[in-house]
């Protein structure tokens, strides 16, 4: 378990001394694997994740490091949490043996498993979020055997868009598609030299950092705040990777737009510190074979 002093030092570290997992391995390199959202959205069940895991093995991708099988949104009961424990409840229609049962099956394949939640009241699809429940949820995921957390940015309560929270969108990435991406409630662009690590956005995501570090299990922390609040300037202090833009789509112009933007932010990348250009769209949409190969190659660099 981390000491209090080490935890504080980690949260204040620079990119050169990023948030390092207790095992010294988790998050050192970018996570490779498969995520359900781009292909299936909310139409998910255990069988699809077991099939994806087997495909990673059969195609030789697991041997190349593609070992994460990540559950995205819509895995839980939408109506709310357990009245007694306040835990998020898995949808047992989709996951008959619970998420812990699916996790065991994925681990038995020699692979790792990821889960999804949100630093807001609800997820982007309207399921229970984790804001104010960070300790409960982190402990639950550790107990279930989760290896990776994708942490999204929907349904942010009004108290987190007031006070010192300046224009949370990137001034040089004006491409709003998410529900909060227009930043209509913000008072304007931050002044020159503003320390975004002190912002309300950073506060929301650091709450989960603290909760994850309390666990005895190493969980890779993937921050998905759509590149808002200059996340690249402090992301290494509180997580292992961070999304740099809004959602990707299987359209070549979108793919190029994202890779071009990220190409100017490579100075923020290091061990345990990774800009996230969002998930691959290989096999989705109308990308040509040439575009698909280029997309795949660019995302591996």
108 catalytic residue (yes or no):
no
Angle between helices 98-108 and 46-58 (to 10 degrees): 10
Other Cβ atoms within 10 Å of 4 Cβ, number? 7
The answer to whether the CB of 12 falls within 8 A of the CB of 256 is no
E strand or H helix at 49: helix 46-58
Burial of 82 (0-12, 13-18, 19+ CB in 10 A): exposed
Q: How far, in Å, CA of 68 to CA of 148, rounded? A: 8
Rg (CA), the chain: 18
Which stretches does DSSP call E strand in 210-289?
A: 220-223, 241-243, 274-276
DSSP 122: B
Which DSSP category does 257 fall into? H
Active-site option among 152, 186, 276, 278: 152
Of 196, 199, 215, 197, the residue nearest 7 (C-alpha)? 215
- The CA distance from 251 to 258, in Å, is 11
Phi, psi values for residue 285, rounded to 5°:
70, -150
152 in active site: yes
Q: Strands, E, within 3-147: which ranges?
A: 33-35, 68-70, 76-81, 88-90, 112-118
Pairing of strands 148-152, 88-90: unpaired
Q: Which residues are known to be catalytic? A: 152, 247
């Amino acid at each position: 378990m981390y000491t209090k002093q080490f935890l504080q030092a980690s949260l204040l570290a620079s990119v050169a001394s990023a948030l390092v997992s207790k095992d010294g391995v988790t998050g050192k390199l970018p996570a490779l694997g498969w995520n359900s959202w781009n292909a299936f959205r909310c139409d998910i069940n255990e069988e699809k994740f077991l099939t994806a895991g087997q495909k990673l093995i059969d195609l030789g991708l697991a041997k190349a490091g593609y070992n994460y099988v990540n559950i995205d949104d819509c895995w839980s009961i939408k109506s709310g949490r357990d009245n007694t424990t306040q835990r998020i409840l898995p949808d047992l229609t989709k996951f008959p043996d619970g998420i812990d049962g699916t996790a065991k099956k994925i681990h038995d394949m020699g692979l790792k498993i990821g889960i999804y939640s949100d630093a807001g009241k609800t997820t982007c699809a309207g399921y229970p979020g984790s804001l104010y429940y960070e300790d409960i949820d982190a402990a639950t995921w550790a107990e279930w055997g989760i290896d990776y957390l994708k942490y999204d940015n929907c349904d942010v309560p009004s108290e987190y868009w007031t006070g010192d929270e300046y224009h949370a969108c990137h001034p040089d990435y004006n491409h709003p598609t998410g529900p909060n991406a227009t930043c209509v409630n913000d008072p304007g662009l931050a002044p020159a030299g503003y320390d975004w690590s002190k912002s309300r956005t950073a506060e929301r995501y650091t709450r989960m950092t603290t909760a994850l570090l309390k666990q005895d299990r190493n969980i890779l922390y993937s921050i998905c705040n759509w590149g808002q609040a200059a996340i690249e300037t402090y992301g290494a202090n509180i997580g292992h990777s961070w999304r740099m833009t809004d959602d990707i789509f299987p359209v070549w112009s979108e793919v190029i737009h994202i890779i071009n933007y990220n190409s100017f932010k490579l100075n923020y990348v290091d061990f345990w510190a990774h800009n996230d250009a969002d998930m691959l769209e290989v096999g989705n949409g109308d990308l040509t074979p040439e575009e698909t190969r280029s997309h795949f190659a660019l995302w591996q660099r």
